[in-house]
Structure 1
Amino acid sequence: MAMWVFGYGSLIWKAGFNFDERLTGSIKGSTDHRGTTEFPGRTVTLEPAEGEVCWGAAYKITKKEDQEIALTHLEVREKQYDKKAYVDFFTEPMAATPAVSGVMVYIASPDKKANVNYLGPASIEDIAKQIVRAEGPSGPNRDYLFQLEKALLQIGCKDEHVIGLANEVRRILSESKQPFA
């Protein structure tokens, strides 16, 4: 039996596990590890939001061994998320019928006790300043943001929030003469 995993954020461009098929599309009812304790990074976190859409990629994994390896990998990689959900995945924006049902996705609750990494909402300016400062074991937080912007555009998603945030980070970096993508 095949297992499907929905990837958003860096999972769009870097799955890190073997898969048999990759579809791009979205899940509905959602909005959109590069930092330190002192300067936490910002990454995409899904939260329930009626009428919203999150774009990404769904990965089909059929071999039992590949499924076990993928789950082990994801349990480490997505450890900051305190919940899993099984959702419908759509390849067409206006489709009423999902392309795949029962796609596993990692999500985070805004409960700071259950999810200590949840940073919560903030203005574009505040998020951008935080991203400029943050760097962790996976690299600079700004690299994550610029890669996310590029990956979303490559799958046909023009996310105004991500684009606006990337432009604000570029503005801050250009004012401080720091290198950026």
Structure 2
Amino acid sequence: MVMWVFGYGSLIWKAGFNFDERVVGFIKDYRRVFYQGSTDHRGTPEFPGRTVTLEPAEGEVCHLEVREKQYDKKAYLDFFTEPTATTPALSGVMVYIASPDKKLNVNYLGPASIEDIAKQIVQAKGPSGPNREYLFKLEEALLQFECKDKHVSDLANEVRRIISERELTAS
């Protein structure tokens, strides 16, 4: 049996399972957003971190079971490797998605300003490490694949600004 899993967050740099092949590409009409709370890896129940999920967004593209237990939905989507392609390179690629339905997904944090999300990321840490590390590793991995994601880069820049400001204040 062949199964393709689309990694759009930490699966990009840390799969955590053996795989036979990696293909770089994207899905259409979704965007990556830091709206999912992490109470088991990058935060705690008392102070959740933020990790990425996908949300439908017409015209957007997003590049690239225990571990994903806080995501309540699976979708099977088309995967593209060329921006102008009308036919997908792969169909039926499994994607984990955190829905905004608080009854099904108690950890969904939802939209907030870049500033508020950044403040939360700067403070949060969990068993897998600081929340900022997740953000910076995601940013780095996307840059290595030459994928531009404005939400991720804006958020990383704001987190760096907050960290620099705090270091200046402390000295």
Indicate whether the TM-score tops 0.5: yes
Q: Deviations over 1:56-96 (max 9, x none)?
A: 1xxxxxxxxxxxxxxxxxx1100011111111000112211
More helix by share: 1
For 1:29 and 1:117, how far apart are their aligned partners in 2? Answer: 24
> Equivalent residues in 2 for 1:111-122 (5 A)?
111-122=101-112
> Equivalent residues in 2 for 1:153-164 (5 A)?
153-164=143-154
Give the aligned partner of residue 29 of structure 2: 29
Structure 1 consecutive aligned stretches of length 4 or more whose deviation exceeds 3 Å? none
Give unpaired runs (5+ residues) of structure 2.
33-40
The answer to whether residue 156 in structure 2 is matched with residue 166 in structure 1 is yes
Structure 1, 25-34 or 98-107: larger mean CA deviation: 25-34
Q: Alpha-carbon deviation of 1:160?
A: 1.6
For 1:94 and 1:123, how far apart are their aligned partners in 2? Answer: 32
Identity among equivalent pairs (%): 81
Q: Deviations over 1:34-77 (max 9, x none)?
A: 11122211111112222221111xxxxxxxxxxxxxxxxxx110
Give the aligned partner of residue 80 of structure 1: 70
Give the aligned partner of residue 16 of structure 2: 16
- TM normalised by structure 1 equals 0.85
Give the aligned partner of residue 49 of structure 1: 57
- TM normalised by structure 2 equals 0.90
- C-alpha RMSD of matched pairs (Å): 1.2
Q: Alpha-carbon deviation of 1:175?
A: 1.0
> Equivalent residues in 2 for 1:75-154 (5 A)?
75-154=65-144
